[in-house]
Amino acid sequence: MPDIGASLREARMRARIDISEIESQTKIRAKYLRALENEEWDLLPGPTYVKSFLRTYAEALDLDAKLLVDEYKLRHERLSEVELQPISAAAPGRERRRQTPLLPPWFFIAVIFAGLVFALYLLGTTGDDPDDAATAPAATTTTTTTARQPARETPRRRRARPRKVSLRLEATGPVNVCLRAGGRTLVDSVTLESGQRTRTFRSRRFRLTVGNNAVILRINGKARRLRASSDPIGVEITPRRGRQPLSDARRPVCR
């Protein structure tokens, strides 16, 4: 497999994307993006950040993020010193503490004897007092009633919604595409032929206009189709509300 940095650089150059555009899209500083392309791992905050930055950068370039992260782990990650320590027997001091009993044997004998004396005392007391027998069923009933009370259900935590959504367009026939996000034009009134597709974009909000429904919207990896229409179709895509139709006045216009 080619070097990790070379794969990132070549993909970015093929897509004709400037490093500043990747910085704006991924929110990763340009110096860290250059460090990834040059494989200058020492300039990055640490292995955890390296893997996170590498995964985000690969997804922005529509590369296999898992493959690049696994390649980084194989080539550059090392086991920590704790993991490299051999498994050894217990420390001598701990061994001696285990061999020395905490309490002498006569203590347990005294506890057992005291328990027997106390049990005999209770038997003699309960046998002479008839009132205890009368109150015993009430106590049993109370215990049973308490045991039958259902436990309170723990409230479930709501899963946090993602802040961004990924989008890629795949043409099933000739279709004109205008795609905008964050005040920028991502696809400027380009006509895609059948089988063509855009790269994967990530944003908090997309606004899309297509000339017809001959396109598949791959949102967060899931394919979605548009309703059939002879007129241009406007769609807004967000993480919270998913796909929402846009009126003619709100549809984005390119060129």
CATH number, domain of 49, equals 1.10.260.40
> Does residue 125 form part of some domain?
no
Domain's final residue, options 32, 51, 76: 76
> Does residue 197 form part of some domain?
yes
> Does residue 223 form part of some domain?
yes
pLDDT bucket at 46, cuts 50 / 70 / 90: confident
- Per mean pLDDT, which range of 48-62, 78-92, 182-196 is the poorest? 78-92
Whole-prediction pTM value?
0.39
pLDDT bucket at 172, cuts 50 / 70 / 90: very high
Which range marks the domain in which residue 51 is found? Answer: 4-76
Of 231 and 93, the structure prediction assigns the larger pLDDT to: 231
> Does residue 119 form part of some domain?
no
Element (H, E) at 34: helix 30-38
pLDDT bucket at 152, cuts 50 / 70 / 90: low
Domain's final residue, options 18, 51, 76: 76
Instruction: Give the position of tokens 């051999």.
Output: 86
> Does residue 176 form part of some domain?
yes
Q: Which of 210, 139, 206, 142 is nearest to 171 (CA)?
A: 210
Average the pLDDT over 243-254 and give the result: 88
> Does residue 225 form part of some domain?
yes
Total structural domains within the chain:
2
> Does residue 187 form part of some domain?
yes
Per-residue model confidence as pLDDT tens digits over 184-231:
899 988 999 999 999 999 998 999 899 889 899 999 999 999 888 878
Q: Which of 45, 39, 29 is nearest to 8 (CA)?
A: 39
Domain's final residue, options 39, 59, 76: 76
| CA atoms of 213 and 228, how far apart (whole Å) | 6
Q: Which of 6, 17, 29 is nearest to 61 (CA)?
A: 17
Q: 206 has which bridge partners?
A: 181, 237
> Does residue 183 form part of some domain?
yes
Given a cut of 90, whether residue 150 has pLDDT beyond it is no
Residue 237, pLDDT score: 93
- Cβ(30)–Cβ(53) under 8 Å? no
Q: 43 has which bridge partners?
A: none
Given a cut of 70, whether residue 142 has pLDDT beyond it is no
Of 39 and 133, the structure prediction assigns the larger pLDDT to: 39
